[in-house]
Amino acid sequence: MSGKWHLGLTPERSPYQRGFKRSFAPARSNHFAYTPELNEEQPRRFLEATSIPLHMEGDKYVTELLEGWRSFNRYGDIMLKYLKEWKGLKDKRGPALLCLLSPTAPHWFLLAPQYVYDDGSGALHLRRLKQLKKFGLVPQDVKPHPVSAEDSPEWEDITPEQKARSARTMECFAGMVECIDSNVDKVLDCLESIGKLDNTFACFMSDNGAEGAAYEAYTIVQTTVMEHLKQYYNNSLKHPAPTYTRTAKLSTWVVNHSPPSSQAAKRASTIRSSSEAGKRVVAPRSARAIGRRCGFLSPKDLRNGSFLT
């Protein structure tokens, strides 16, 4: 495996100790391409800086990274190296192989080459829908759903400076997604070169979706993230999960992290109908609803090109 592994910092929790024979994984690693400020006696804390030794290859800490390190490309390169090593094992290898390529992109901070998104998100939305129709992923007669956000003016109503900033934001995100596409393609090409592509099942998926934290406010916190969480958030096992309540506006949801009253708990325990549950205790609509419409793609399907850009 190569890439993100957020299941523990210590060697005994590394992917190498959890069944992967070859692995390269970060913890608080430098995947933003900045040169880190190192202090060997006291490494900087999470979100303040990164420390090179918190990459691990196998059961060893990595003490040096290649110049110009960018994780969204290097993780793919490392996976290619592992695949070629596996091919060279010949009779010593097993009959099957499991590979996990886990890119950190697109993730805050967004750093990417410049692309062209200067006609706004609405036009981009229509182009992506056209591509989905082209590949048969949606019906030809499907109508685009309006894209809107609270306090967000129409593209035609904003200033040239605002358009440039919005376009750059989309360019950065799209650039990182493009890096994922190119690295997936590299891995598929490698599988083809070693004669394993046609007998490979490829599963492409994402983890936590849209960014849910406001790291811009980190400098206001004036403390570490963990200390802030301990002070203001109850994450104990006996603390109930947050409930979501829909307000008058369909696009607005209020999250309640407080323990429910006995009356609320009793009501929640008696909810049975899906219609009532949908109004009171179900989280906001998410990508899960879209995911039900998506089937699995073969490696050759994945190589036909990007479905969204």
pLDDT digits (tens, 9 = 90+) for 173-199: 777 787 888 889 999 999 999 888 888
Based on the fold, state whether residues 134 and 154 are members of the same structural domain. yes
Confirm if 183 and 306 have CB atoms less than 8 A apart.
Answer: no
The confidence score (pLDDT) of residue 276 equals 35
The confidence score (pLDDT) of residue 145 equals 78
Based on the fold, state whether residues 22 and 153 are members of the same structural domain. no
In a domain, 186, yes or no: yes
The confidence score (pLDDT) of residue 222 equals 59
Confirm if 180 and 103 have CB atoms less than 8 A apart.
Answer: yes
Q: Looking at the 3D structure of the chain, how many domains does it have?
A: 3
In a domain, 295, yes or no: no
Backbone angles phi, psi at 84, to 5 degrees: -70, -35
Based on the fold, state whether residues 23 and 104 are members of the same structural domain. yes
In a domain, 308, yes or no: no
Q: How far apart are CA 14 and CA 60, in angstroms?
A: 10
Based on the fold, state whether residues 34 and 183 are members of the same structural domain. yes
In a domain, 81, yes or no: yes
Based on the fold, state whether residues 211 and 251 are members of the same structural domain. no
Residues in the chain with pLDDT values less than 70: 9, 27-54, 68, 91-93, 107-121, 147-151, 207-226, 228-229, 232-309
The pTM of the full predicted model, rounded to 2 decimals, is: 0.54
Query: Comparing C-alpha atoms, which of 122, 117, 126, 214 is closest to residue 166?
Result: 117
In a domain, 303, yes or no: no
Based on the fold, state whether residues 245 and 184 are members of the same structural domain. no
Confirm if 187 and 80 have CB atoms less than 8 A apart.
Answer: yes
In a domain, 259, yes or no: yes
Cα 170 to Cα 117, 166, 212, distances in angstroms: 7, 6, 17
3-state secondary structure string across the chain: CEECCCCCCCHHHCHHHHCCCCCEEECCCCCCCCCCCCCCCCCCCCCCCCCHHHEEECCEECCCCCCCCCHHHHHHHHHHHHHHHHHHHHHHCCCCCCCCEECCCCCCCCCCCCCCCCCHHHHHHHHHHHHHHHCCCCCCCCCCCCCCCCCCCCHHHCCHHHHHHHHHHHHHHHHHHHHHHHHHHHHHHHHHHCCCHHHCCCCCCCCCCCCCCCHHHHHHHCCCHHHHHHHHCCCCCCCCCCEEEECCCCCCEEEECCCCCHHHHHHHHHCCCHHHHHHHCCCCCCHHHHHCCCCCCCHHHHCCCCCCC
Based on the fold, state whether residues 34 and 141 are members of the same structural domain. no
Based on the fold, state whether residues 28 and 103 are members of the same structural domain. yes
Based on the fold, state whether residues 102 and 153 are members of the same structural domain. no
In a domain, 309, yes or no: no
In a domain, 25, yes or no: yes
Based on the fold, state whether residues 101 and 201 are members of the same structural domain. yes
Based on the fold, state whether residues 105 and 79 are members of the same structural domain. yes
Domain that holds residue 13: 2-110+175-217
Based on the fold, state whether residues 66 and 199 are members of the same structural domain. yes
